[in-house]
A and B are shown apart, each in its own frame.
Chain A
Amino acid sequence: DQQVKQNSPSLSVQEGRISILNCDYTNSMFDYFLWYKKYPAEGPTFLISISSIKDKNEDGRFTVFLNKSAKHLSLHIVPSQPGDSAVYFCAASSYGGSQGNLIFGKGTKLSVKP
């Protein structure tokens, strides 16, 4: 049973446009969410996180939106750059992340075309 779902395996976007990556979760106990970016043969790199007490968090070109009633979050990247091409993972945790174990989605491969 997959508790964190990224239903789009891939996404292609033109450079300069907005990239929107989506993530759905089923466990209502999740209250802390993170996005990671991963290049081939490297480890995931932390991008941005959001606590369930917020509905939006912004850091430079990256914004995460959380819709608790829909159990849905999204990562917006604007403007998209070719260097953003990578696999993006959504992850969730309970108890404010203090539980330690992150539950990951399967990832969405983003391709940003020049």
Chain B
Amino acid sequence: NAGVMQNPRHLVRRRGQEARLRCSPMKGHSHVYWYRQLPEEGLKFMVYLQKENIIDESGMPKERFSAEFPKEGPSILRIQQVVRGDSAAYFCASSPDRGQPQHFGDGTRLSIL
């Protein structure tokens, strides 16, 4: 399967711990996007990255959240000191270039105890 790969599929953390979500884009795609979906809601944009660069982080909470897309390896969305409100499905998407349709992974379901 050459699609967008996200892991883990499910992640359980206790309040105050750190959560790391990984995303490997489709082959040939250098643009990565992260979205969050709360229950009964649509997807909400968080951050847009290109290799080694953050292009747009306007949807990212100012504190505790960070994202990177290194030259080698997957993109990482990191949430420090998680709280109950961080419980959601986090989706990663990729595209070969700007203005091209984004293709999504199957998401990471984060649960905070």
A: residues with CB less than 8 A from B are 4, 32, 34, 36, 41-46, 49, 89, 91, 95-107
Q: Report if A101-B59 is in contact (Cβ < 8 Å); known contacts: A43-B106, A43-B107, A44-B104.
A: yes
Is the beta-carbon distance between A100 and B106 smaller than 8 angstroms?
no
Residue of B nearest to A36 (CB): B104
What's the minimum C-beta distance from A49 to chain B, rounded to whole angstroms? 6
Q: Report if A102-B105 is in contact (Cβ < 8 Å); known contacts: A43-B91, A44-B91.
A: no
Query: Total number of A-B contacts with CB less than 8 angstroms?
Result: 66
A sample of 22 inter-chain contacts (CB < 8 A) reads: A4-B42, A32-B99, A36-B104, A41-B106, A42-B106, A42-B107, A43-B4, A43-B93, A43-B105, A45-B104, A46-B103, A89-B42, A97-B101, A98-B99, A100-B33, A100-B55, A101-B56, A101-B58, A104-B35, A105-B42, A106-B40, A106-B42
Residue of A nearest to B46 (CB): A101
Report the separation of the CA atoms of residues A7 and B100 in the bound assembly, to the nearest whole angstrom: 27
Contacts of B91 in A (CB 8 A): 43-44
B65 close to chain A: CB less than 8 A: no
B: residues with CB less than 8 A from A are 4, 6, 31, 33, 35, 40-45, 48, 55-56, 58-59, 91, 93, 98-107
Is the beta-carbon distance between A102 and B45 smaller than 8 angstroms?
yes
Contacts of B105 in A (CB 8 A): 43
Report the separation of the CA atoms of residues A100 and B50 in the bound assembly, to the nearest whole angstrom: 11
Report the separation of the CA atoms of residues A37 and B87 in the bound assembly, to the nearest whole angstrom: 23
